[in-house]
């Protein structure tokens, strides 16, 4: 009697084929972070993923297409999670900022994908097409996310009135610098400061600057 369909194993070659896009983006991420965009060759990515170059071209027709896939796979889900947090958050805005920035660090900064911002900043002038893509799909969405938190805090009277555009960059810059540092200077000299200590000071400084002054007693 034949076995139920649920017990039939899928052919290994088919499982392997379906796994290849993820294997290729993982290999590409490693090489992009280690070598940079210019120095990474499609041949090297194929070798790292243990496939032929011809197989790689079945999924990605260029290095730029592969880079875009790495960014979309590694960065955009983190931004989507942050947007979801903002949409459903009911607590104070200082706590929301901690949630959003902390989540970005946990999902991006502390992971291998955290090396991509350094790559883009370092090679933007030589590869304006990837810089434009990164700006449109990551930077604009990331700054909009931080904007929503800052504007919310001001509207609720929890943050003082600030130049929102300037505040967004002020919030993001120390986080980006931490990412860049760990993929550059940390290679040859340890930062000496653990993430927990860094972000404890970061939030204290940032929130002290953003919070509205307490309302004097007797005034509304």
* Per-residue pLDDT, 194: 87
Please check the confidence at residue 191 and state whether its pLDDT lies above 90. no
What's the full length of the chain, in residues?
Answer: 220
Helix boundaries (H) for the chain: 12-35, 42-49, 53-59, 63-74, 76-88, 93-104, 116-123, 128-134, 140-155, 164-182, 195-210
CA distance 215 to 62: 58
Average pLDDT, the chain: 89
Domain ranges of the chain: 8-61, 75-210
Q: Residue with structure tokens 């700054």? A: 143
* Per-residue pLDDT, 181: 87
With vertex at residue 79, the alpha carbon angle to CA 133 and CA 119, rounded to the nearest 5 degrees, is 45
Q: Among residues 176, 181, 178, 116, which one has the least CA distance to residue 146?
A: 176
Task: Please tell us whether the domain made up of 8-61 is placed in CATH 1.10.10.60.
Answer: yes
pTM of the model: 0.84
Q: Tell me: the pLDDT tens digits for 1-39? A: 454 444 444 444 444 454 589 999 999 999 999 999 999
What CATH number labels 75-210? 1.10.357
8-61 with 75-210: one CATH topology? no
Residue 178: how many CA atoms within 13 Å on its side-chain side?
24
CA distance 114 to 70: 12
Q: Tell me: the pLDDT tens digits for 55-96? A: 999 999 999 999 999 999 999 999 999 999 999 999 999 999
| pLDDT band for position 218 (cuts 50, 70, 90) | low
């Amino acid at each position: 009697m034949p076995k139920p369909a649920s017990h039939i194993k899928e052919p290994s070659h088919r499982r392997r084929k379906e796994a290849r896009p993820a294997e290729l983006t993982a290999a590409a991420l490693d090489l992009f972070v280690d070598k940079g965009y210019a120095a990474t060759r499609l041949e090297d990515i194929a070798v790292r993923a243990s496939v032929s170059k011809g197989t790689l071209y079945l999924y990605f027709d260029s290095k730029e297409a592969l880079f875009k896939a790495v960014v979309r796979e590694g960065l955009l889900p983190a931004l989507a999670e942050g947007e979801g947090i903002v949409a459903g958050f009911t607590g104070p805005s200082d706590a929301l900022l901690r949630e959003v920035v902390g989540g970005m660090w946990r999902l991006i900064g502390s992971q291998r994908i955290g090396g991509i911002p350094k790559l883009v900043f370092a090679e933007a002038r030589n590869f304006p097409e990837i810089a434009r893509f990164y700006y449109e799909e990551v930077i604009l969405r990331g700054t909009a996310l931080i904007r929503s938190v800052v504007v919310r805090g001001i509207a609720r009277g929890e943050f003082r009135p600030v130049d929102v555009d300037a505040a967004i960059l002020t919030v993001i810059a120390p986080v980006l610098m931490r990412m860049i540092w760990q993929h550059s200077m940390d290679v040859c000299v340890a930062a000496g400061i653990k993430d927990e200590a860094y972000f404890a000071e970061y939030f204290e400084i940032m929130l002290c600057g953003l919070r509205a002054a307490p309302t004097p007693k007797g005034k509304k």
